């Protein structure tokens, strides 16, 4: 009986995973590619149009996940959807996390690994969406500086920049060392900082796995832990102290969520 249940779970996970990734690939090509082409050719604000299309695509992606995997419940703070003109920092436990935040914010930018800017077609979408290459010492350094230099105006117009300051996914949920470079962007742009906490996306799509975990009861949450208004003009302002404050918030919440 145990062997049959294990086999049934594997078949169920595989079937649902194939449906989800079919949408992710063929849905992108069939349903959205013409919209991206139209935005490229006719939009007066390509960046805003591409961000909106990315938002709608991933909103559809998570709608499909919710329909196909009802055992996973979702709780997202209402106040998160109202965030505007902010520098958003969050923990990172699954590949789904950046996709989830894109699905929540129509106007958004984020930092993406520079290697993805070398992928044909996908790199064009990243550039036209206004996303920022992660590395500062490669051939994309000029683009990175240009995007960061224009961030003031983007934030002032209502857009959000979200980042995962750990730089990579946590394998055990623990909060790692935060990257100082992301907070230097905050000092340069002087935005409000919203600290978010994402919980249990790793139980839906475990790190290092190809299959979605469909046969468990789970609640995925996205919480706003704090809204920080740093006094960037103060002589006592410290990036190190700001990082420590954010790390403490994330670490405390991680400990409270531990079984």
Tell me the pLDDT tens digit for each residue of 93-106: 999 999 999 999 99
Q: Extract the tokens encoding 171.
A: 């394998």
CATH number, domain of 8, equals 3.40.1130
Residue with tokens 């832990």: 225
pTM of the model: 0.94
- Per-residue confidence (pLDDT) for residue 144, from 0 to 100: 92
Contacts made by residues 19-23, CB under 8 angstroms, sequence distance 24+: 19/64, 19/68, 20/61, 20/64, 20/65, 20/68, 20/212, 23/60, 23/61, 23/64
Give 10-residue mean pLDDT values along the chain (259 residues): 68 93 90 94 97 97 96 95 97 96 98 92 94 83 92 96 91 88 92 97 91 93 97 94 97 89
- Per-residue confidence (pLDDT) for residue 216, from 0 to 100: 87
Full domain range(s) for residue 66: 2-257
- Per-residue confidence (pLDDT) for residue 135, from 0 to 100: 76
Residue 145's contacts (CB-CB under 8 Å, 6 or more residues apart) are 136
Instruction: From 80, 147, 157, select the one nearest 111 (Cα to Cα).
Output: 147
- Per-residue confidence (pLDDT) for residue 80, from 0 to 100: 96
- Per-residue confidence (pLDDT) for residue 31, from 0 to 100: 87
Our count of domains for the chain comes to 1
Question: Distance (Å, rounded) from C-alpha 61 to C-alpha 12?
Answer: 18
């Amino acid at each position: 009986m145990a062997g049959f249940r294990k086999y049934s779970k594997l078949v169920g996970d595989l079937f649902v995973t194939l449906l989800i990734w079919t949408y992710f690939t063929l849905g992108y090509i069939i349903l959205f590619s013409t919209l991206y082409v139209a935005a490229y050719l006719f939009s007066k604000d390509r960046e805003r149009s591409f961000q909106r299309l990315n938002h709608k695509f991933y909103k559809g992606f998570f709608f499909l996940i919710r329909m196909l995997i009802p055992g996973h419940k979702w709780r997202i703070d209402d106040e998160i959807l109202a965030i505007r003109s902010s520098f958003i920092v969050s923990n990172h436990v699954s590949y789904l996390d950046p996709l989830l935040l894109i699905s929540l914010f129509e106007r958004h930018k984020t930092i993406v690994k520079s290697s993805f800017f070398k992928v044909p077609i996908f790199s064009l979408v990243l550039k036209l969406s206004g996303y920022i290459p992660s590395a500062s010492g490669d051939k994309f350094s000029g683009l990175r500086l240009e995007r960061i230099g224009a961030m003031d105006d983007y934030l002032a117009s209502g857009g959000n920049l979200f980042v995962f300051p750990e730089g990579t996914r946590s394998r055990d949920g623990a909060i790692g060392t935060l990257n100082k470079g992301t907070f230097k962007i905050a000092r340069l742009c002087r935005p409000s900082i919203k600290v978010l906490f994402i919980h249990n996306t790793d139980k839906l799509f475990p790190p290092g796995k190809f299959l979605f975990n469909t046969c468990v009861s789970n609640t995925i949450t996205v919480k706003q832990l704090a809204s920080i208004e740093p006094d960037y003009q103060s002589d006592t302002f410290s990036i190190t102290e700001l990082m420590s404050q954010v790390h403490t918030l994330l670490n405390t919440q991680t400990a409270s969520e531990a079984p």
